[in-house]
Amino acid sequence: MQAWHFSETAYPYLPPADTYPSIRVSLPNRNYDPVKGAALYDRYLMEWQIADEEGLEIMLNEHHQTATCVDPAAPLMLAALARLTPRARLLILGNPVANRRQPVRVAEEMALIDVLSKGRLEAGFVRGVPYEISPANSNPVRMNERFWEALDLIVKTWQQHDGPFSHEGRFFHHRNINIWPRPYQAPHPPVWVSTTSAGGAAEVGAHGYVQATFLTGYEATRKIYDSYRAAWRKAGRGADIPINRLAYAALVYVGDNEKEAHEGAEKLLWYVTANKVAPQYANPPGYTPVAGNVAMLRGAEHPLSAFAKGASVEAAIRSGFMFAGTPDQVFHQIKRHYEHVGGYGHLLNMGQAGFLEHDAAAAGIRNFARYVYPRLKEAFPGATVSGFPCEVPGAPPEEYVLRSTTRLKSDGPLMPALGGQGVSG
């Protein structure tokens, strides 16, 4: 198993939530202090460097017009990390290509990062969350089609080395494609796609790309992975799905003791509870498939949105959104989730969010890297085959769950029932 340190580079110094309708899109940027923001960038970069020193890989993403992630241009942060870190793989998850006007420009940016890092890039792609339709001035209709046309063109662009070629597609038109530089890795950097739906996972599996899913817990993750594995086999890629084709992202905090672990984990929950979104941004017309909207009208709800209404560390652990506790507790929490969903080769650790201070974030990174990660690599080697899920008892062993003393209430919806930041079915 490979583990990755992930931070959304949040800006948490905000007014009371009841004074604004949405943390995304419309929150006035007068609430942003550039001096505090500069200090935050310094510490986030330092924490990625600590992850590199401790033997973890590095993951980052981008979002737009939101305090939850003040990294609107992830390739720029990647360029900095390519020079600041000597070892770690660098995963961007990802490029929101359905909202980008020029896929060839994305291919150029990723090729530059790959050369600058001497072949350490892992290139991830996302459809983009619904909240970013308005900031991108984009059309929410047919985003999946735009996404796949853009990604196919990018991969082709990376592999063409004999002079210019043209592309005349449904959504994109390029007369002269001949990028310089070309990627360091051959035939191209590894491709990742994130999705939180079974339909989207089937498309990813058919292409054979790495499938990542975010905070989908137990049952939803199992359905997503099952769909991926079925599509992989149907596409003729073989009966065995390598474990390194699947990834899971969770909030992760490892403390020296239960008290420290609970304090750190509760601060991580800011990512869930602070994500107040106005309804008009959460589900723009055309973004969610018809079946998803019908399900919502019948009362369906994204599991993370349901959880946020009464969020607690204990509930997050029981749901599989969070792995937190002492090293032994965290190892067994991850093991239980891994076995239930059939196995995955990448664990994407959101180890910093909200008001989790630098020293505490650094301690969490080090505790995971030193006392949990070696056990995961031994228990789940890279040669493992994915696809043998286990039935897990309804409740985890009590000694592996942190007890909560408070519940944190969310102020708004997180995402539509079948939306998410990746590709949907």
Q: What are phi and psi of 341, to 5 degrees?
A: -90, -5
Tell me the average pLDDT of the chain.
91
**Which domains are delineated in the chain?**
2-400 (3.20.20.30)
Whole-angstrom distance, CA of residue 262 vs CA of residue 421: 28
Please say whether the beta carbons of 93 and 61 come within 8 A.
Answer: yes
Whole-angstrom distance, CA of residue 41 vs CA of residue 22: 23
Whole-angstrom distance, CA of residue 96 vs CA of residue 193: 10
Between the alpha carbon of residue 354 and those of residues 149, 258, 357, the distances in Å are 36, 20, 8
- Region 206-218: what's the mean pLDDT? 96
- Region 257-268: what's the mean pLDDT? 96
Residue % of the chain over a pLDDT of 70: 90
CB contact burial 53-79 (16+ within 10 A = b; e otherwise): ebebbbbbbbbbbbbbbbbeebbebbb
- Region 161-174: what's the mean pLDDT? 96
What is the model's pLDDT at position 290?
Answer: 82
Whole-angstrom distance, CA of residue 319 vs CA of residue 116: 40
Lowest-pLDDT range, 46-60, 206-220, 243-257, 297-311? 297-311
pLDDT class for 89, splitting at 50, 70, 90?
Answer: very high
Better pLDDT: 298 or 372: 372
- Amino acid at site 15: P
Q: Is 406 exposed, middle or buried (0-12, 13-18, 19+ CB in 10 A)?
A: exposed
Whole-angstrom distance, CA of residue 227 vs CA of residue 204: 10
What is the model's pLDDT at position 265?
Answer: 97
Whole-model pTM: value is 0.91
- Region 238-254: what's the mean pLDDT? 96
- Region 294-320: what's the mean pLDDT? 79
What is the model's pLDDT at position 425?
Answer: 42
Whether residue 341 has pLDDT greater than 70: yes
Residue in the structure block whose two tokens are 């149907």: 234
CB contact burial 173-203 (16+ within 10 A = b; e otherwise): ebeebebeebbbbeebbebbbbbbbbbbbbb
Can you spell out the DSSP letters for 371-388?
A: HTHHHHHHHS-TTPEE--
Whether residue 396 has pLDDT greater than 70: no
The alpha carbon of 214 is separated from its chain's Cα centroid by a whole number of angstroms, namely 5
- Region 194-218: what's the mean pLDDT? 95
What is the model's pLDDT at position 302?
Answer: 66
What is the model's pLDDT at position 382?
Answer: 83
- Region 285-301: what's the mean pLDDT? 80
Whether residue 410 has pLDDT greater than 60: no
| Tokens representing residue 157 in the block | 């662009």
